[in-house]
Structure 1
Amino acid sequence: MTKNQAERAAILTAGIVIIALTVAAFWLSYAHLADVARQHGLAKSPERAWAWPGTIDLFILAGEVLMFRAALRGAWDGWAFALTAAGSLGSIALNVAGVGTDTLSLDHVVAAVPPTAALLAFGALMRQVHGLVTGTADAPEPVDESVAVVAIERPQPGDPAPEIAPAPAPAEVPSTAVPSPSAAPAVPPALVTHARKLADAHRDKTGEPIGTDVLRVRLGVPASMADAIAAQLA
């Protein structure tokens, strides 16, 4: 098993455990609040007694989902945080108060555990989902490692020697002159295609065009090759 496969298996296992914990904690908290409702005014209406806890516990669900949406946008939603806090504190307080004042302190702890666990488990679940979504969005695309093969014709025995034109006299070139584009190294089309994907992803993430230095580092090519690729992307 590779490292990535082990990480995926760990995330999947943690997600299953967190979902089971969230469901169990919410059910225990909800059922206890339904018992409290039956003992304080809703004994004659089982339907209303079971619906009443939703007016508290569902605030946690709504607030966590809104906070998750805000996190995906890279923003902060104070209203979502207020909904989550109100629902969580209200659920914990009513679960504990429903035990009564003439009981042992351990009974109050037992009543407080499910709503607290529901809050923490649901928060952990949203964090896992957020990590998976943002991790997938920011993951670099796979590198196309196909290399263009250039066929080189080798001279065969008996072929006439190629004519070589005399080299022209070198011209004086200022030290600040820019090399001619014709001197740029040949770039395989597959490498240009991959570089264009990197440039698009960089522009979507930063809002700026990708630089030559970034191309050189990300592609692992010499500076001259990175300049030639940048010229084709421009």
Structure 2
Amino acid sequence: MRHHLAKIDAVLIQAVIAGALSFAHLHDLAEAAGQGGWKAWAYPISVDLLLVAAWRRLRSGHSAASGWCWFLTALAASLGANIATAGLLDLSDVPDWLRILVAGWPAIAFLGGTLLAHQPKAAQPIAESEPEPDPEPDVQPSSAAVPAALLDHARKVATAHQDRTGQPIDGATLRARLGVPQPLADRITAQLT
């Protein structure tokens, strides 16, 4: 138990240090780009919140493409500030393009945060241990007729199978090719012969 707590403490300490450094770099860059006072302090919060929101979206399994897009956008902003303040950029003479990026960040972050917060969530995946429900239960008696269009399509599938393999199609293969429940596949097979 103590080893586990020590591991958590070390990870937490590392996260706090990394977060504080990144926060300071974002603040310094925003301030150098002309965003003084409270605005310079708001930039790191905005970047970090967008990172967290995107990460939560990724962890939830919903809208992975959107989650990755906004996560990488916020990560690029954070990493860019960390690198820029490492002496590669003269903070007393920030280029205009960087001033434009910093000034435009609130709109980008607002858009990303809004999209992440308001995208509809996809249906929860069914657990592997649960049997998948049949979307359209087959309640027709086994002697019921198969719709003509489906039977015509099944004939084409069966003919193509026979031409390709030289053997008549079996019920399991027909079911797989048509994507129908087993009782319906059995009825189709019976009507094809």
The TM-score, its normalising length taken from structure 1, stands at: 0.35
The TM-score, its normalising length taken from structure 2, stands at: 0.41
The answer to which structure has the higher helix fraction is 2
Q: Looking at CA atoms only, which structure, 1 or 2, has the larger radius of gyration?
A: 1
